[in-house]
């Protein structure tokens, strides 16, 4: 009996760690899955929490209105519900892209592990089904955790507002049946994102088990003909639809229909074609300070792997675009409203008071919208932090080689941080440009019939918050992983796993 146990122990010690994990008990495998996909678990939990709060809020407002004597509150609750579902859809969309890209990044770093599993008989389809099951597990756990947190947050806010007498002292429904919908939506979106992000598994061959690379070559990462064709088609169709909306904007408010369609389609083209769209912007960002060899190397590293770079920053592009779109549209609306008041009031004291009142209203509206859209930005920020941190970990051998070739640990740290700053700067610039275009388009289609000048208005506070937050994000996302990577000696970093 002891001989058998010793043989089993010896066999287990010779078995590669990833394969030993695959043979563990289901509970252990489930915990390993949750640990491996912690970033996507966090995204699912945040999205579910946000959705739960959005579903609870209309009911709380309706209960408060009834408590102060208003009976017909159905229309108010319906409007708030529609607004909530719109912003929830945006958050789920952003979360899905972040999850898919994070999953792709993790899988890119596990190429040799997957190839080893292929080598011992696993098929690509079976591996992908396993990743799909992992997506369901992560989605269920994250959605349930987020739902519970959302109910807790809503209860705490309601209790605080009641204590300060902002809400009447009545009974509030904090667990409506509708919270099942955002929880279910997050589970489905997470599973679909895992499926989309795991497509590369089907291309892994057993021969890659003999390779030491964790990232595919530049040729492998270059967008294929299919992706290029789809991206160009979406961009062309979207641009044509937006041009039609601009032409109709001065005639009818129905121009918002082709405008919305064109914006969605063209932006989908940007997302699909991110490996094609981002490199030119990165090339421009990389020219800043390129006389410094470390900065030059950082810029070339970002361009060397367009797929990895696109996965890292596309979520941030989405978040910045959304925030700037709403800020520009609301800024133009506020400007047009002030012009109309001046035109009607003729510069009287009453018109000046009206403008001040409207300014206060728009400031509050902008704060509310920014908070709602900003949550999608939080999801995008989580994705950027995860992607940049994973990228540093997966490039351990590359960093070790650079140190062998003569770069100091300080220079390697500066190179990685500079590379992250360049990537984030490119994402911010892209998001700002797209946001201004889409925000102006929204104002043109909705307000064009008023025939006021519609000059894009980009609030400086929004720009400062976006730029400052993004640069801070780049530094925070890379400093800790780089510090850990520099603790490993070049010899250990170059060792074959």
- Please write the tens of the pLDDT for every residue from 127-159: 888 888 888 899 999 999 999 999 999 999 899
In this prediction, residue 434 carries a pLDDT of: 93
**Number of Cα atoms under 13 Å in the Cβ half of residue 308:** 27
CA dihedral over 195, 196, 197, 201, signed as positive or negative: positive
User: What's the pLDDT score for residue 131?
Assistant: 83
Would the pLDDT of 443 be above 90?
no
The predicted pLDDT at position 202 comes to 65
Q: Which residues contact 127 (CB under 8 A, 6 or more apart)?
A: 114, 117, 118, 201, 204
Backbone angles phi, psi at 458, to 5 degrees: -110, 105
**pLDDT single digits (tens) 117-133:** 777 877 777 888 888 88
- The pLDDT assigned to 344 comes to 65
pLDDT at residue 4, as a whole number: 44
DSSP 149-178: HHHHHHHHHHHHHHHTTSS-SS----S-GG
* Distance in angstroms (rounded) separating the CA atoms of residues 225 and 242: 26
pLDDT (tens digit, 9 = 90+) per residue, 267-322?
A: 999 988 888 888 888 888 888 877 888 888 888 877 777 777 777 788 889 888 98
200-217 pLDDT, tens digit each: 766 666 665 555 554 444
Give the Cα separation of 60 and 21 in Å (integer).
47
Residue 395, token pair as written in the block:
């490039």
Tokens in use for 187? 């589970």
Q: Does residue 28 have a pLDDT over 60?
A: no
pLDDT at 95 exceeding the cut of 80:
yes
Kindly list the domain boundaries of the chain, sorted by start residue: 19-211, 223-497
| Token pair listed for 320 | 């910045």
Q: Closest Cα partner for 38 from 397, 393, 497, 400? A: 393
Tell me how far the alpha carbon of residue 145 is from its chain's centroid.
Answer: 20
CA nearest to 277, candidates 324, 248, 322, 318? 318
Looking at residue 238, what is its pLDDT? 94
């Amino acid at each position: 009996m002891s001989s058998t146990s010793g043989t089993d122990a010896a066999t287990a010690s010779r078995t590669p760690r990833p394969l030993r994990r695959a043979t563990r008990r289901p509970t252990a495998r489930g915990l390993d899955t949750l640990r491996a996909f912690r970033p996507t678990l966090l995204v699912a939990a945040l999205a579910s929490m946000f959705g739960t709060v959005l579903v609870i809020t209309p009911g709380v407002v309706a209960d408060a209105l009834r408590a102060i004597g208003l009976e017909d509150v159905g229309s108010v609750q319906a409007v708030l519900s529609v607004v909530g579902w719109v912003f929830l859809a945006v958050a789920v969309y952003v979360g899905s892209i972040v999850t898919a890209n994070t999953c792709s990044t993790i899988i890119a770093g596990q190429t040799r592990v997957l190839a080893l599993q292929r080598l011992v008989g696993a098929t690509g389809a079976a591996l992908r089904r396993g990743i799909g099951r992992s997506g369901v597990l992560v989605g269920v756990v994250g959605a349930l955790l987020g739902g519970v947190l959302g109910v807790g947050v809503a209860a705490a806010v309601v209790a605080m507002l009641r204590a300060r007498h902002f809400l009447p002292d009545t009974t509030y429904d904090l667990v409506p049946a509708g919270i099942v919908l955002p929880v279910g939506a997050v589970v489905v979106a997470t599973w679909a994102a895992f499926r989309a992000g795991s497509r590369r598994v089907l291309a892994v061959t057993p021969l890659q088990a003999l390779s030491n690379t964790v990232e595919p070559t530049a040729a492998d990462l270059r967008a294929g003909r299919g992706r290029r064709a789809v991206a160009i088609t979406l961009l062309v169709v979207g641009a044509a639809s937006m041009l039609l909306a601009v032409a109709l904007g001065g005639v009818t408010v129905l121009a918002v229909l082709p405008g919305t369609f064109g914006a969605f389609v063209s932006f989908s083209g940007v997302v699909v074609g991110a490996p094609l769209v981002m490199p030119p912007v990165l090339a421009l960002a990389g020219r800043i300070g390129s006389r410094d060899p470390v900065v030059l190397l950082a810029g070339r590293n970002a361009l060397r792997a367009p797929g990895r770079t696109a996965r890292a920053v596309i979520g941030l592009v989405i978040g910045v675009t959304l925030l700037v779109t709403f800020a520009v549209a609301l800024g133009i609306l506020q400007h047009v409203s002030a012009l109309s008041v001046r035109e009607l009031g003729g510069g009287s004291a009453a018109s000046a008071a009206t403008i001040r009142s409207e300014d206060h209203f728009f400031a509050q509206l902008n704060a509310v919208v920014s908070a709602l859209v900003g949550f999608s930005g939080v999801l995008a920020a989580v994705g950027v932090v995860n992607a940049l941190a994973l990228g540093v970990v997966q490039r351990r051998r590359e960093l070790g080689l650079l140190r062998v070739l003569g770069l100091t640990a300080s220079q390697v740290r500066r190179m990685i941080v500079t590379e992250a700053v360049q990537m984030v700067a490119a994402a911010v610039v892209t998001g700002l440009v797209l946001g201004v275009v889409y925000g102006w388009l929204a104002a043109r289609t909705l307000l064009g019939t008023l025939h006021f000048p519609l000059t894009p208005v980009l609030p400086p506070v929004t720009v400062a918050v976006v730029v400052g937050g993004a640069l801070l994000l780049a530094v925070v996302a890379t400093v800790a992983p780089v510090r850990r990577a520099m603790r490993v000696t070049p010899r250990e970093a170059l060792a074959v796993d």
